[in-house]
Structure 1
Amino acid sequence: MPTPKIKTWLVDETGDHALIEGADERDQLLARGWAEASEPTGTQFLWASHEGVEKPARFNALAFPDWAARGWTPSGPPADSDLAVTAVDAANGEPRG
């Protein structure tokens, strides 16, 4: 049975958090300026993914439990997270941007 990958919270220079699975991805983000962090709280932001949605979206930590109930899970940032931020349209839960 394979060993489960360790999950690590990281934060970028803007304060956005991401839950990273595995040492390889963690090390890549650390080399790009991310730092190890604790789970986001309050008004901090985190990246989350949803099955069927192409890119992760950015959520406020206080509001995230409502989105988690809709199937969103904390994840890594989108591949182009250094270039753009993906917002979520709170009216319908669909990513935009």
Structure 2
Amino acid sequence: MGFQSPAQDYIERRLTVNDLIVHNPGSTLFIEREEGLLVVDRSARISRGDKIALMHEGVSLVARTGEHCIITDEGQRIAGEELEGVLVLGKVTYEVMRVWHDDSPV
């Protein structure tokens, strides 16, 4: 047995993606999409103009909140009685986008 290295006090733990983008582990969802990954916080407060993940008529969508409505990324406006069929999954806090696609055959 020897002495502990003096540099031991300066060793830092490894940084992980969870340390950077997951603030509430118990209320965080990961939604995989063709473009990449959405990080959705179910406990985050949603305000006007925020990007949210939702389910509408059995389809998973990403939208922005508006004045008494929701506007999807495709431009569809959901308002009035249609909002009753919307299940808000949470606020999109991060988007991890793919920058490389390997579509070439091997």
TM-score range, shorter chain: 0.3 to 0.5
Structure showing greater relative contact order (alpha-carbon pairs closer than 8 Å, 6 or more residues apart):
2
Question: Which structure has the larger Rg?
Answer: 2
TM-score normalised by L of structure 2: 0.32
TM-score normalised by L of structure 1: 0.34
